[in-house]
Structure 1
Amino acid sequence: MSQDTVISLNLATTRQVWGFAEAVDGCLRAGITAISPWRDQIAAIGLNEAARIVKANNIQVTGVCRGGMFPAETAAGRQLQIDDNLRAIDEAAALNADCLVLVVGGLPGSSKDIVGTRQMVSDGIAAMLPHARASGVKIAIEPLHPMYAADRACVNTIDQALDICENLGETVGVAIDVYHVWWDPYLARAIARAGRMNRIFAHHICDWLVPTRDMLLDRGMMGDGVIDLKGIRRMIEDAGFHGPQEVEIFSQDNWWKRPGDEVLQVIKDRVATVC
């Protein structure tokens, strides 16, 4: 890790022990000055108070998690999701966030039409873009591992996300989470493409454990798994992104059970040695 590396704490990493304010206090104790909160954590403290805390402590908000979940079985259902995304834009704007991260959603109901579902995603993002642009909020599509294609995200590779970006314009980019993309045989090419398009808005890190006991809630601390973190970081920096390393770990049986200050110290040590 270079001396100027900035760590951002995705607040999912300490969500079982800290709320929004406690997480900010813990980050400041650890010398971490960037966060990425989830919308339920913002709602729990109130948007005005969250914004006050961010401004008072000069905190960088690398992203707000999350918007998306566009697909639905009916036009009315899709409009409800778009309306929720418009509210998410307002929250991201209030926190002066670098981007609003999208987990785009999976197949609606009993549908087997993944191509049509991806079109719902593109249409949903297009519908929210005028408000995003007027609010100064960038939209970051986060491709998720294919194991989530049915229920969480039908956009599963950086290239799929960039195809949507090309159609929608420069306000839309990607959040590259190593947990979801490390396996992609075309990863280097896709990251380089994202760099040429200037569409890398966030870089999330953790590790893939072997074995993984739960595909959602058993992410590893950096260095405990098989992801080539340094290699992917090199690709992303070569592509022109030098923003914070955002640590996002869902770990119901390990890291979520540990004191927050301990987790942050391990994060700092690992980013310094293995990332």
Structure 2
Amino acid sequence: MTVKQLSLPELVDACAESAIPGVGLWREPVRSHGLAATAKLVRDAGLTVTTLCRGGFLTAADPAGRAEALADNRRAVDEAAALGTDTLVLVSGGLPPGSKDLRGARERIADALAELGPYAESHGVRLAVEPLHPMFAADRCVVSTLAQALDLAERFPAHQVGVTVDTYHLWWDDTAPEQIARAGAGGRLHIFQLADWITPLPEGVLNGRGQIGDGAIDMREWTGYVEAAGYTGPIEVELFNEELWARDGREVLAQTARRFVEHVIR
């Protein structure tokens, strides 16, 4: 999504130019290009698919909505397996229309994970629950803190359900470092993502993620937290930003690689 203006073939070429060995894919462009074609494209290029994003949206209260969400998440697991990634990122979903019951919504997530976890395991895929900044709790994700995400994940085996740590969503929480340690100790730290927090926030807050180094987050500090927790997996950069999308995608990707070296490498 950092360079969604690039087609998937263009993205593969740009990754090779910038010596980027892995890519986190989103379902929509994969679907547009074709699942089998995308799997062959990245495989032939020697790229690792680090994660597939996204499953989730599991908070529907009505039986039909719940069944539809479960079916879509099983499809997402199938897609992840076909692409060769072992991690499906889950954005849990917001409150159903007219509801104010946060606890009930979170329990419905747990009920869904109880069904999806074994299905994912049977396909060699882990589910990574991603907490989102509290400003998204009502409409997008009722899981706002890493502690809440871990409280859900720890009901299930670690090889089925873990968490996503995204700096953009968690940097404000002074309990996050101890929760990262908790995730690492339990083998539940499935993916680490970077994006900076810039102010003033753009009008479209959802697309307000800043380029690494442009905002308030100390990326080396956060990288230190996950490394201390034993994390040795890939680090993704996931930027939703209209200004970046309006620029040449290859230049944005090259800049992102430079910023990663400047602000992340320890």
What TM-score, normalized by structure 1, do the two folds share? 0.93
CA distance, structure 1, for counterparts of residue 16 and residue 249 of structure 2: 12
Greater shift, 124-133 or 137-146, is seen at 124-133
Runs of 4+ in 1 over 3 A off after TM superposition: none
Deviations 1:154-183 (A, max 9, x none): 011111111111101111111111000000
Residue 249 of structure 2 is matched in structure 1 by 260
Per-residue deviation, 1:244: 2.0
Q: In the alignment, does 2:115 pair up with 1:127?
A: yes
Deviations 1:67-86 (A, max 9, x none): 00011130111111000000
Deviations 1:109-138 (A, max 9, x none): 110000000001111111112210110101
Q: Which amino acid aligns with 1:49?
A: A
Residue 215 of structure 1 is matched in structure 2 by 205
Of 244, 251, 257, which aligns to 2:234? Answer: 244
Matches within 5 A, 1:134-153: 134-153=122-141
Residue 272 of structure 1 is matched in structure 2 by 261
The 3-state SS of whatever aligns with 2:155 is helix
Per-residue deviation, 1:274: 1.1
For structure 1, the residue ranges without an aligned partner over 5 or more in a row are 1-11
Is the contact made by 1:92 and 1:137 (CA closer than 8 Å) also made in structure 2?
yes
Residue 182 of structure 1 is matched in structure 2 by 171
State percent identity of aligned pairs. 43
Is the contact made by 2:165 and 2:192 (CA closer than 8 Å) also made in structure 1?
yes
Residue 77 of structure 1 is matched in structure 2 by 65
CA distance, structure 2, for counterparts of residue 20 and residue 66 of structure 1: 17
Per-residue deviation, 1:268: 1.4
Residue 19 of structure 2 is matched in structure 1 by 31
Greater shift, 211-220 or 146-155, is seen at 211-220
Q: Which amino acid aligns with 1:238?
A: A
CA distance, structure 2, for counterparts of residue 22 and residue 268 of structure 1: 16
Aligned residues: 262
The 3-state SS of whatever aligns with 1:62 is strand
Of 218, 221, 226, which aligns to 1:228? Answer: 218
Cα root mean square deviation, aligned: 0.9
Deviations 1:29-74 (A, max 9, x none): 2111200111011100110001111221221111001000011130
Per-residue deviation, 1:198: 1.0
Residue 103 of structure 1 is matched in structure 2 by 91
Is the contact made by 2:117 and 2:126 (CA closer than 8 Å) also made in structure 1?
no
Higher relative contact order (CA 8 A, sep 6+): 1
Q: In the alignment, does 2:149 pair up with 1:157?
A: no
CA distance, structure 2, for counterparts of residue 67 and residue 199 of structure 1: 17
Q: In the alignment, does 2:30 pair up with 1:42?
A: yes
Per-residue deviation, 1:236: 0.4
CA distance, structure 2, for counterparts of residue 55 and residue 255 of structure 1: 27
CA distance, structure 2, for counterparts of residue 138 and residue 73 of structure 1: 25
